[in-house]
Chains A and B, each alone.
Chain A
Amino acid sequence: EAQVTQNPRYLITVTGKKLTVTCSQNMNHEYMSWYRQDPGLGLRQIYYSMNVEVTDKGDVPEGYKVSRKEKRNFPLILESPSPNQTSLYFCASSSKGFRETQYFGPGTRLLVL
């Protein structure tokens, strides 16, 4: 089954404790992206990747890091999480970049205390 998976689905952590949210897709997609969703603000793009070893900033990259060492995986790293990073995070992927449908993962709900 074609899908985008994220782990963990729910996470409670404390300020400053490094964490990684994993994202994996099994569709051989080149393009992958991370978003956060906050009430009243909608979805905002954090980082995106056009292919292996190619990443770029979205609209709200501060406080986040990403890497794309393999085509299928695109982890999101919070080196020193802060309470304002409490949010719902979605990973998405698509083939051939931006003109194709993006498939979203199920979401990761993060609470930073």
Chain B
Amino acid sequence: GQNIDQPTEMTATEGAIVQINCTYQTSGFNGLFWYQQHAGEAPTFLSYNVLDGLEEKGRFSSFLSRSKGYSYLLLKELQMKDSASYLCAVMIDYKLSFGAGTTVTVRA
């Protein structure tokens, strides 16, 4: 099977920056997604990386290094509403494999 690892939990203070790492060992690679999921809700798309480098979207940025099998999601200027699970997912052919998710708690 595919191996996609991310930390289970992270805690940060409102206004701070948090970096969520994701490492993967997979049999192929057609891109890496990050999703946000609030408790009891469906995942929502945050970012997609297929080439190496940094993609920035407002307060959120995502980085990919294919040679290292590594990605991170950077959340800046944290807000209370950013408390959620963040899911890393790797696309292989037409299959999407997810990591177990990282629960981020933002404290005032």
Contact = CB atoms under 8 A, between A and B. Distances in A.
A102 B98 CA distance: 13
Interface residues of B, number: 24
A58 B95 contact: yes
Contacts of A45: 95-97
A41 to B, nearest CB: 6
A43 B42 CA distance: 11
B94 A56 contact: yes
Given A56-B94, A102-B96, 13 more contacts: A33-B96, A43-B101, A44-B98, A59-B2, A97-B94, A98-B91, A98-B93, A98-B94, A99-B50, A102-B33, A102-B45, A104-B42, A106-B41
Contacts of B93: 98
Give chain B's interface secondary structure class. Answer: loop
Nearest to B99: A42
Contacts of A40: 100
A42 B94 contact: no
Interface of B: 1-2, 30-31, 33, 41-45, 48, 50, 87, 89, 91, 93-101
A43 B44 CA distance: 13
Interface in A99-113: 99, 101-107
